[in-house]
Amino acid sequence: MNTKSDQIRQAYDRWASIYDTNENPTRDLDAQVLRNLPVDFRDKTVVEAGCGTGKHTAWLAGVAREVVAFDISQAMMARAKEKVVGKPVTFLVHDLTSPWPLPDAFCDIVTINLVLEHVEKLSFVFGEAFRILRPEGVLCVVELHPQKQANGSKARFEDPATGEPVILPTFPHTEAEFRQAGREAGFKTVEIQDWWDNTEEIPRLLSVVCRKT
């Protein structure tokens, strides 16, 4: 694991205990966006890359046939496991910037939510998603909108133990970068959509849906 990944892991380990309960409109809108994408999750095998505290895992486990969820933070994943007891979910501790421990053509859908702002180069992640997807598979990405990033928004929280503000390492990505990463990975189509909440004049989130032939 590289130094940047270790910094991110440590930060999310510290964030885990309050991630689900502290005020976070980005997290809340993200939960709505995934459920409203033009993608059918029913009876599918889904890989959730960067599952965090399981804000999507429980819902996915309720509609999909099988879910494999992985995350860099064991503390975040421990929270996710509590939400899906008895459901068809396999958890792995893994850094998505390293080769994914899954075979080719393994799943129907890959989801990545609020993770890629911590990834410098999108091409590897999109390539791994393409590799493990079956024919006609779909990659669903939801991230902080580039306009929000340009205005200084980034993942941050107040450490519950010390009260100090913690700002995580981030790498802003443009819409063009997402589109290019999807096309270079081999996806047939790349669909991008803006998402607003009720308090913002500019979009809060961006979704990217990449479809494989």
**pLDDT tens digits, one per residue of 84-106:** 999 999 999 999 999 999 999 99
Flag whether pLDDT at 80 surpasses 80: yes
How many separate domains does the chain show? 1
| pLDDT tops 80 at residue 23 | yes
Nearest-angstrom CA–CA distance, 91 and 188: 29
Q: Is the pLDDT of residue 1 over 60?
A: no
What confidence score (pLDDT) does residue 2 get? 58
Rounded to an integer, the average pLDDT of 204-212 is 98
3-state secondary structure 163-185: CCEEECCCCCCCHHHHHHHHHHH
Separation of alpha carbons 76 and 16, rounded Å: 5
Provide the CATH number for the domain around residue 72.
3.40.50.150
- φ and ψ at residue 52, rounded to 5 degrees: 60, -135
Domain that holds residue 197: 3-211
pTM: 0.94
Q: What is the DSSP string of 30-68?
A: HHHHHHHSS---TT-EEEEES-TTTTTHHHHHHHSSEEE
Residue that has been written with the tokens 């309050």 in this structure: 18
Residues of the chain above pLDDT 70, percent: 98
